[in-house]
Every structure is written in C-alpha cells, then in structure tokens.
Structure 1
C-alpha cells in the first residue's frame, strides 16, 4: 500500500513542470555549506560544486537509485585539509583524499563480507537516537552564527534577515498546499533574499553583495562578439588534475596519510547516522536494502572523484536530509536533477555568482529549521522504539552521548608533525558504542526493536 504521507516516493518521477524547482531547492540547501569548505581550505568553490554533483550521480548509481541522498563537501575534513595543505600543498590534499576514498572501499568490502548484523547489535536505538540528536544539535551553533553574526560580531539586521527567512519557511511548511507546500525551503530562501535586498535599499547596510553578479553580467553584455559572450558565460573551473598539475608519487608521504585516513574511519559513524535518519523519515531500511556496503562505497567513490579533479572529500548532507523530511519528496530523480544542475552551474559563472550572493543569514535562517528537524528525528527514534530512559543504563548512555557530542569534547593525538582530532559527533558515537558494549543489560537499549520500517513497508 502506498504511503499517503509521501508526496513522491523514492522511484517516482516528478512532473516535468515541478522537477526543476524541486531540484533547485536541494541545490540551494547544500550550496552554502558545500562552497564554505573550499573557501575555508583555499580550494575552488566551483570545483567543489562540480565534484558534489558528479559524486552524487556516482552515489545514486552505486546505490542502484534506492537512496535519495545528496553529497557535498565534508566539514570533517576541514582541519586535515588545512594541515595537509601546509605539508604538501594542493597535490598532497588530493592524494590524501584519494586514499581516504579507498578506505571507504575497504570498509565497504568488509561490511559486504560480514554483513550488517554486527553493526546493528552494537548500534541499538539508545545509541543511534542520541547520536542523531547530536548530528542536528552539533550543527546548531553553525546555524546560529550564520543567522546573527558578521565576522564574529552580532548584527541585529542580519538576525532580522534570518528571522524573516525562517518565518517564511515555517509558514510555508505548515500552511502552504499543493506544489508550494513541497518547496518551502526554496520559497524561504527567495523571500529572505528579497528582504535582504529591501534592507540594503532602505539602510546603509548591504546584506547582499551583488558585485560578482554585476561583473559577470558586464563581461557577457560588453563582449564584442557572440562567441565572446558565450565564452564569458561558461567559465572553466580551476581543476587540479593528477600528473598534469602535480605528481602524486612526489607529494605522498606518511604525514598526509596520518592526517587524512583516520578521518575516513571516523566519518563512517556520521554516514551510518545519516543513513538511519534517512531510513527513519522515509520509512525504509537503507542499511539492509540496497545495503550499508553500497552507501559507504558510494561515499568513497564520490570522494575519489573529488580528489581527481581538485574538490574536497564528499559526504551525505544533513541539510538535504532536512529538505526531504520537510517536503516528503524522496524521489531520487529530484536528487539526480540537483546533481546535474550542480555540475552545470559549476561551469556557468553568473549562476555561480548569483547563488554565491545568497546572504549568510538567509542560509542560517533555513538551517535553523533543517538542523532542528534532524535532531527531532533522533528523539522520534527513541520514542518510536519505546526506549525506556527510566532504566539507568539507557539514561547514562544517552546522557553521555548528548553532552560529549553537543559540548564539542575532543581527543587530540600527535604523530610527529601531524595532529589528529576525534571530536564532537564522532567521539560521542564511539563513546556511546563502547558504553553500550560494556554496561550490562544490553537488551534494554533496543526498546521494542523496531529501529527501521518492517519488511512489508519497504
């Protein structure tokens, strides 16, 4: 029986008239975070956009079109990339990312060989639920900072932009019907952008920087020929190609491996958490079908693709999971459409400039809702599985996970000149896993044992 709460199921194709807007909504949701990583690590934002699109398409292919996940730049690799850049430059970063992608592949083979039963045994709802809460709340400071701060200083005007954006998105999610009811994120972003332009017109505070758009437009209209205009529209991203821009054999070293590879192992916990969130909100079991090995392999291949063209490592995106939860549009065709648009936009300079001009507080306002929905999904998992927090064992495990994850606890290790940090959500997941294994009464952590939808609901 078809689930009436789903606007579009995983394999359903949207109407052509709606397809573009549904896909562009996902593109906008991931754009700010995806280009933020290369901005912070001195890589090319345009290349990051192209690599996220190509990586997502590869992911959809590897997962047999069964998981509606969008992949973008991974925040977990920001510190390793910065350190690796100082050690071996951009070439070293790409080699490290390539090896990290291979690690995903090795883990995928191990899961394929030994199954997922052991994973589900060590990750019951009492561990997974709080970890999902941490995934959402761990991102909360980022959303709030984007919403109200400019270069670290409080701005009431920017906070008003975030508030208006959030209000429009919330009203759209609750009250809009029909097609408008499934694009509230896009409507919120457009509304917040429009409000930002108005604020800039009536005050001295310019929230929207349109200089990049004007420059790109002038390059197009002031060209002396049609060919010149076309060449001004399409801009080749600054790809970094192995053996053309650097020699991998010359830049690879143990420092790079130590910096990058452990992060791949750590981010698997985040990947599993994302898959469980997706499984919960879509009422499917992606851990079993198409299988965790497929999704992890998809992450790995996406990261390898990024490393071969100069982009940061990729991972599944919480922002886009939030869009799925709000809109109930789970179609992989919508996700695929967003990926194709990302690749195209990476080559179109003026479109990249338009999306880049979306004010940070607009993305902050939207992110407040999206990240909160992720956290709420973790609470829902605890409730749906009837996990009894009156049992001291469950209370201890969930409490420790929440404080370590939200508090930003970290374990920092030093290997020669290289530093490794395991922190936040990753550390919380590891500690929760260990506590679940060592504290007696493990069966209490499963609640009613229905972490995922039943087989007949798949």
Structure 2
C-alpha cells in the first residue's frame, strides 16, 4: 500500500476506496460484535447502528473528523444490569437518555467553552473509573471462560478452548505487525472458533438455515415494543456517559495529533460530542449498544495516513450492508461463550490497564493525599458494588455511583492539579512522540 497521505476531504480512486474502507471495517468488527455478544443484544443490529451512527457523525461534524463509531465497552456492565432489570427494551431507554446527556453537554460546551468539562473530568477521576470498568467485568470473563453454559458448571473443555483463544489473541497482539497488529481480537475469535469447532462446541445448523439476505432483529419503540420509564436503569446508565465523554475528548486529542489539525477547536468539541450522542440515540432506536469513537480505527488512520472521511463513510455503509447478511449474523451467534470468555480475559484487563496508563501518562501523583483518596474511593465503591437506594424504584449502583462520587470529591477537595487548555494539550502532543 502506498504511503502517500490522503487528505480529510479527498476521495480516493474507487478500487483503493473500497479496499481502505474494508480495512476499517475489519478493524472495528471484532470489538463491535463483542459488546452485543456479551450483553445479549443482536450483533447484526450493532453493525447496522454503528454504520448509521458513523454516517450521522460525519454529517454533524461537517465531514472534518475521520472517526468511526462502534459499540462502547464502557456500557457493558450497565447494559447487563439494565437488561437484567428491564430486558433489552429497558436498556434502550437508558441508552437513549445517555445520548441525550451528550446533547446537553454539547450545547453547554457551545455556549461556555470546553474547559469546564476538563475540570470536572480530569485524569484522576476518569483513570480509576476506567479501571473499575475493566476489573468490574473480570468475573464475567472468567465465568464465560470456565463454565459450560448448558449446565452452568465448570468444564475443562470449555476452559481449554478459552485458554487457547486467549493464547492466540496474545500472540496476535504481541507479534503481528502493521495493519494486522490492529486485529488481535478478531484473530483471537477466529482462532478460538476453530479450536471450539474441533472440540465439537459449535452448532452450524443456524448458519445453514439462515437466509443470505435477512433483516436484523431490530427493537424499535412503539413498533416492536412500547417503551416504559425505569429510573433505576437511567440512574445506572446515564452517569457512564461521563466516562465516555472523557474518552471521547482523549480520542479527539489523539486524532488531532495524527491529522495535524486541532479538531477540538475546528469543527469543535461540541459538534463531535453531539455527533457521538446522536449515534447513541440512533442505536437506542434500533436495539443496539451505545456508540463511541474507536481507538482501533484511529490506529488505522495513523498507520495508513489515510484521513479521508469518504473512506470512513465507506466502512460505515459496508457495516450496514453486513448487518443484513443473514449468514454472517447467524455465524456470529454460533461463537461459543468460551471463545468470547477467552478474548474477554485479555480485553477487560486491557481496559483496566488503560485506566492506569491514563494516570501515568498524565503524571498523576498518587503521593498526594488528594489523588490517593479520590482513586481509592472510586476503585472500592465501583468494584465492591456499592449502591444508594434513592427510592423504591431508583438505585444508583456500582460504576455509576463511583463516577458520581469521584466527580464530587474532585470538585470539593482542595489542591487541584493545573488543567491545560485544549490548545496547550494539542501543542504538547505535537511535541510528544509517545502521545
């Protein structure tokens, strides 16, 4: 592949356009289908909603930010909890309100600027919350890896498949180079699937019975179900938007460095956050998980130096088309839970490690009592599963409670660290080869 840079608004030659778009599709595919598989939602709907959400994002950001949106890992635990309370339909209500919060934050940023959100969501808050996201899901990953779902008891065969999957994923993450280094999750799933099939854990009959062209199982309000308000679900899911908002800002700063333009300033953080919120609202109207910008695809942009939003748009269109291919959707549903458990052991650990990395990269001093107190309280409340029963119907629990308390502690405790402006962070990142 040529190393010639392709600009943000540049349209590649058609054959190259298709190839580059498919490359982005593969980069997001494994992670995007993993979220619905872990939460019980439809992978086909997740593909469609991520494609439509990305197209909406590109329009809202005026075709100036080459970012792909896929299923958000931060919402895995809240989705599982919400589905347990009100089913998939209830989870969609929570997702809808999380998207609305994005819209309100975008409006406020438009009116007042960006510094306030950087002050209430500094690394000392967001880093530990991200660690809670990963560590809080550790039990889910281990359970999927070790248990036979038919008997809900320990199975050496299933655990062996999970460990084989984990081993392949680790080898791919460590030894693959170039574009393929961005696909360890997909590689692990494919390798683990082959091991599971060898062990007789795969039932191919759904693939044989599925039609080639088949509509996904959408959950559309007032069409397939009548939505009802559940304040407990809303209280569980909406605060997680605080975490994804901070991740979104980080992605925009990294992408700004990659393309050499301050995207936080132009087209503006308010537009990119609003686009993220609209994508999540679209997903909630279809039955998919909340969407967010994807680091995997930012990695592809950085590696290939192809900044074209038309390439991103091509990947989005391809994702929508994939969602309507019944054979592919059926194949995804045949992936054994042991395979997903093996991948998740590494993936959830990486999420937790990224929270630690945020603290290290931002030089957060845990020798300061203030920082030590905030991080410690967030970790124990989030992982320990503490909750506040507001009313009989409303409960603020786990990760959501940890996020809220972390924000409050950061605001009231003295001795805040200096917060850079977006321009200062952009200039610092330009000079930092490790950023």
Q: Identify whether the pair has TM-score above 0.5, normalized to the shorter chain.
A: yes
Instruction: Identify the residue that residue 241 of structure 2 maps to in structure 1.
Output: 268
Q: Name the CA shift for 1:312/1:412 in 2 (closer, same or farther; >3 Å).
A: farther
Q: Deviations over 1:300-343 (max 9, x none)?
A: 312332344x41452327xx546867996596777655543432
- Alignment counterpart, residue 367 of structure 2, candidates 390, 396, 399: 390
Matched, 1:344 2:338: no
Q: Name the CA shift for 1:11/1:265 in 2 (closer, same or farther; >3 Å).
A: farther
Which TM-score applies when normalising by structure 1?
Answer: 0.74
Which TM-score applies when normalising by structure 2?
Answer: 0.78
Instruction: Identify the residue that residue 26 of structure 1 maps to in structure 2.
Output: 28
Distance 2:109 2:66 in 1: 18
Distance 1:390 1:166 in 2: 35
Matched, 1:298 2:275: yes
CA contact (8 A) 2:57 2:276 kept: yes
User: Which range moved further: 345-354 or 236-245?
Assistant: 236-245
Q: Deviations over 1:227-286 (max 9, x none)?
A: xxxxx321123445556556xxxx576xx1635554564122121242255357667487
Matched, 1:214 2:214: no
Consecutive unaligned residues of structure 1, counting only runs of 5 or more, are: 201-205, 217-231
Distance 2:46 2:341 in 1: 20
Instruction: Identify the residue that residue 172 of structure 2 maps to in structure 1.
Output: 172
Q: Name the CA shift for 1:387/1:140 in 2 (closer, same or farther; >3 Å).
A: same
Consecutive unaligned residues of structure 2, counting only runs of 5 or more, are: none
Once the two structures are TM-superposed, the CA of residue 350 in structure 1 deviates from its matched residue by 0.8
The residue correspondences of 1:174-189 to structure 2 (distance < 5 A) are 174-189=174-189
Q: Name the CA shift for 1:268/1:388 in 2 (closer, same or farther; >3 Å).
A: same
Distance 1:266 1:79 in 2: 14
Once the two structures are TM-superposed, the CA of residue 80 in structure 1 deviates from its matched residue by 4.3
Distance 1:327 1:168 in 2: 25
- Alignment counterpart, residue 432 of structure 1, candidates 386, 389, 406: 406
The residue correspondences of 1:328-407 to structure 2 (distance < 5 A) are 329=303, 336=313, 338-407=315-384
The Cα RMSD (Å) is 3.9
Distance 1:397 1:8 in 2: 44
Once the two structures are TM-superposed, the CA of residue 420 in structure 1 deviates from its matched residue by 3.2
Instruction: Identify the residue that residue 112 of structure 2 maps to in structure 1.
Output: 114
CA contact (8 A) 2:240 2:403 kept: no
Distance 2:374 2:310 in 1: 39
User: Which range moved further: 62-71 or 121-130?
Assistant: 62-71
Q: Name the CA shift for 1:137/1:239 in 2 (closer, same or farther; >3 Å).
A: closer
Distance 1:23 1:56 in 2: 12
- Alignment counterpart, residue 128 of structure 2, candidates 130, 136, 143: 130
Q: Deviations over 1:407-456 (max 9, x none)?
A: 232223325xx3333322x222221222222222223x769x99955366
Once the two structures are TM-superposed, the CA of residue 164 in structure 1 deviates from its matched residue by 1.9
CA contact (8 A) 2:133 2:351 kept: yes
Distance 1:23 1:211 in 2: 26
Q: Deviations over 1:281-302 (max 9, x none)?
A: 6674876565443343223312
Once the two structures are TM-superposed, the CA of residue 21 in structure 1 deviates from its matched residue by 4.7
Distance 2:107 2:146 in 1: 45
Distance 1:8 1:183 in 2: 23
Q: Deviations over 1:329-360 (max 9, x none)?
A: 59677765554343222211111111222222
Distance 2:329 2:254 in 1: 31
CA contact (8 A) 2:32 2:47 kept: no
Q: Name the CA shift for 1:94/1:142 in 2 (closer, same or farther; >3 Å).
A: closer
Q: Deviations over 1:72-128 (max 9, x none)?
A: 27442454456556xxx95x8767765654443233212221222112122333223
Instruction: Identify the residue that residue 139 of structure 2 maps to in structure 1.
Output: 141
3-state DSSP of counterpart to 2:388: strand
- Alignment counterpart, residue 237 of structure 1, candidates 213, 216, 237: 216
Flag the structure with larger Rg: 1
Instruction: Identify the residue that residue 47 of structure 1 maps to in structure 2.
Output: 45
Q: Name the CA shift for 1:268/1:24 in 2 (closer, same or farther; >3 Å).
A: same
